A and B are shown apart, each in its own frame.
Chain A
Amino acid sequence: MNNTVITKDLANRKLNVTRQFNAPLEKVWKAWTDKDLLDKWWAPKPWKAETKTLDFTAGGLWLYAMQGPDGTKMWSRVDIKTVVPQSSFSTACAFSDEDGTIDQNFPKMYWDVKFEGLGQITKVYVELSFDTDAAMQKIIEMGFEGGFTMDLNNLEELLETY
Chain B
Amino acid sequence: MRRDIFQAVADPTRRAILMLLALQAMTPNALAEHFNSSRQAVSKHIKILTECEVIKQQQTGREIYYHFNPQKMKEIDVWLENFRKMWDDRFTQLDDVLKDL
Contacts and interface: CB of A to CB of B under 8 A. Distances in A.
Interface stretch (B4-12, B26-34, B36-44): B4-12
A155 B9 CA distance: 8
Contacts of A4: 84, 87-88, 91
A41 B80 CA distance: 21
A77 interface: no
Q: How large is the interface on B (under 10, 10 to 19, 20 to 34, 35 or more residues)?
A: 35 or more
B93 A41 contact: yes
B100 to A, nearest CB: 9
B101 A152 contact: no
Nearest to B81: A6
A37 interface: yes
A42 interface: yes
A48 to B, nearest CB: 11
B15 interface: yes
Contacts, number: 104
A43 B89 CA distance: 9
A27 interface: yes
Interface stretch (A56-64, A67-75, A88-96, A131-139): A131-139
Report whether over half of chain B's contact residues are helix, strand or loop; otherwise say mixed.
Answer: helix
Interface string B66-80: 000010011011011
A133 B11 contact: yes
Given A44-B89, A140-B79, A161-B23, 17 more contacts: A4-B84, A6-B87, A21-B91, A21-B95, A21-B98, A22-B98, A28-B98, A31-B94, A31-B97, A31-B98, A37-B97, A148-B83, A150-B79, A151-B10, A154-B15, A154-B19, A161-B22
26 contacts: A4-B87, A21-B91, A21-B94, A23-B98, A28-B98, A30-B101, A31-B101, A37-B101, A40-B96, A41-B96, A41-B97, A42-B90, A133-B11, A136-B10, A137-B6, A140-B6, A141-B2, A145-B86, A147-B82, A150-B79, A150-B80, A152-B9, A154-B19, A155-B9, A161-B22, A162-B22
Interface of A: 2, 4, 6, 8, 15, 17, 19, 21-23, 27-28, 30-31, 37, 40-45, 133-134, 136-137, 140-141, 145, 147-148, 150-152, 154-155, 158-159, 161-162
